[in-house]
Amino acid sequence: MSRFPEKHPAAQAPYKKMGIAGAALIPALLLAAAALPAQYNPSPAAPTSEARQFHIKPVTIFGEHLYEGTFANPSGVAFDATANEVWVADTQNNLVGAFTPDGVPLFAFGSDDMVEPVRIATDANGRLYVLDNDRTTVKVYSYKGDPLAHLALPGLGEKPIIGTIAMDADGNLYVGENESCQVLVYGPDGKPRQRFGSCGVDEGEFQSITGIAVDATRIVVTDAQGVSVQVFDKHGDFVRGWGRHDMGRENFSFPSSVALLSDGRVVVTDALRHEIKFFDAEGHYLDRFGGIGWRLGQIAFPAGIAADPNGRLYVLEKGNQRVQAFVVVAGDFPPDAMDTNRNNGPKGQASVGKEVPRISSPSGSNSGSSPGSPQQPLGGNR
């Protein structure tokens, strides 16, 4: 029997629709990206051959709750390894929802004190940690949606601006705070463990933290204005960094989120280039996938990414109002998966020969290009 109730009472309330500020977000991001300077010399790209060493295969797409309708401007995604569930922060619906790895909706809830959730994390005890548009605190809920606490996080300062949150396997909470330009780490007891970073564009410094991913040995942080990707050890000491806000396949326009694979690879989404980029553990560029669109394998304005223990990647797309799940497959795309009528991208017919129906059109999709932005399906933008 599922541990979720049929319907949470809070989920029956009417939800706020996207306003003028939300509709203006994408043009604002485009203007911001255009103004970003080239500030950092990336690690050299690893040499590549004609044939791909690996590719990603779309396995499922989902964008609808069990009772509450379709996603509306979702912003965050997380994987709960304990319960084997995917959680989505459905921003404009004021909901967070749980799904199976195959995208089957399980449960969604809202709360009077949850307004436009943007990031979500889970711990091994089934608690949910939510960052909403307040951006000054992290709110905690039970898996049933019951409010538990607004965390009092020492060291955040008087007017914090939290950019993102993450949780590690030991129950430590990582908070990317953009007023002090620091990552703060809190133990399961809520007490501060460490902090690192300062404001700037050099090694170990931050400007606008957008994503944090943690494994047994690494803390990886993405930044929308400073060094695009930085790796720290578990003590918070800088190890390496790479990526400029500039043209070039190894660089970025708006790195929006990051996930780590068990083999050491670092996977970063670029919201304005509509790309999923892969790097090895040393920061060498490996490959990129995506390209703006709504068919299988294409993505539009990816805002979040999460990985499960089996290496499946869950990419949340603001533009398409959905989550698209991928598996990493060794070798190049098989010949029968290519469609020369679509710029050498894979066929949009993995779902029993049918194209995936368009869920929504990203605002100003034709203006979604930025330096190096591909306009073709997955597999066609090496």
Compute the distance between CA of residue 171 and CA of residue 207 in angstroms, rounded to an integer. 26
Nearest to 226 by CA among 242, 247, 239: 242
User: Which SS3 state, helix, strand or coil, does residue 259 take?
Assistant: strand
Residue 29 maps to a domain: yes
Q: Say what the pLDDT of residue 337 is.
A: 63
Joined together, the tokens standing for residue 263 give 């083999």
**Does the pLDDT of residue 340 top 50, yes or no?**
no
Residue 308 pLDDT class (50, 70, 90 cuts): very high
Q: CA-to-CA distance for 372 and 379, rounded, in angstroms?
A: 15
The CA distance from 167 to 209, in Å, is 16
- The least confident of 22-36, 208-222, 364-378 is 364-378
Joined together, the tokens standing for residue 295 give 């068919």
The verdict on residue 263 lying in a domain is yes
Percent of the chain whose pLDDT exceeds 70: 75
Q: Does residue 4 sit within a domain?
A: no
Q: What is the mean pLDDT of residues 183-193?
A: 96
Tell me: pLDDT of 97 over 50.
yes
Concatenating the DSSP letter of every residue in 159-188 gives S--EEEEEE-TTS-EEEEETTTTEEEEE-T
| Strands 95-99 vs 229-233: parallel, antiparallel or unpaired | unpaired
Average pLDDT score, the chain: 82
pLDDT (mean) for 151-172: 95
With cut-offs at 50, 70 and 90, classify the pLDDT of residue 298.
very high
Asked if 153 and 175 touch (Cβ cutoff 8 Å), the reply is yes
For the cut 70, the answer to whether the pLDDT of residue 17 exceeds it is: no
Assess if residue 377 is contained within a domain. no
Judged on CB neighbours under 10 Å (0-12, 13-18, 19+), 261 is middle
Residue 382: inside a domain, yes or no? no
Highest mean pLDDT among 2-11, 149-158, 282-291: 282-291
Cα distances from 29 to residues 88, 158, 224, in angstroms, run 22, 27, 10
List, in sequence order, every beta strand (DSSP E) within 168-243. 173-177, 182-186, 192-196, 209-214, 218-223, 229-233, 238-242
Q: For 228-286, what is each residue's pLDDT tens digit?
A: 999 999 999 999 999 999 999 999 999 999 999 999 999 999 999 999 999 999 999 99
Range of the domain at 151: 22-367
- In this prediction, residue 50 carries a pLDDT of 62
| Phi, psi torsion values for 25, nearest 5 degrees | -65, -45
What's 52's domain CATH number?
Answer: 2.120.10.30
Burial of 269 (0-12, 13-18, 19+ CB in 10 A): buried
Question: Which of the four pLDDT bands, split at 50, 70 and 90, describes residue 45?
Answer: very low
Determine if residue 197 is left, alpha or beta; phi over 0 gives left, psi from -120 to 50 gives alpha, anything else beta. left
Quick check: is 17 in a domain?
no
Specify the range with the lowest mean pLDDT, choosing from 105-109, 173-177, 185-189, 329-333: 329-333
The one-letter code for the residue type at 58 is: P
CA distance 206 to 131: 20
**Structural domain contains residue 9:** no
Number of domains observed in the structure of the chain: 1
Q: For 20-29, 131-140, 315-324, which range has the lowest pLDDT when averaged over its residues?
A: 20-29
Strand order in the sheet with 105-109: 76-80, 85-90, 95-99, 105-109
Within a domain: residue 231? yes
What 8-state DSSP symbol labels residue 333?
Answer: P
Encoding tokens for residue 26? Answer: 């994408």
- Residue 51 banded pLDDT, cuts 50, 70, 90: confident
Does pLDDT of 64 surpass 80? yes
pLDDT at 221 over 70: yes
* pLDDT at 333 (0 to 100): 86
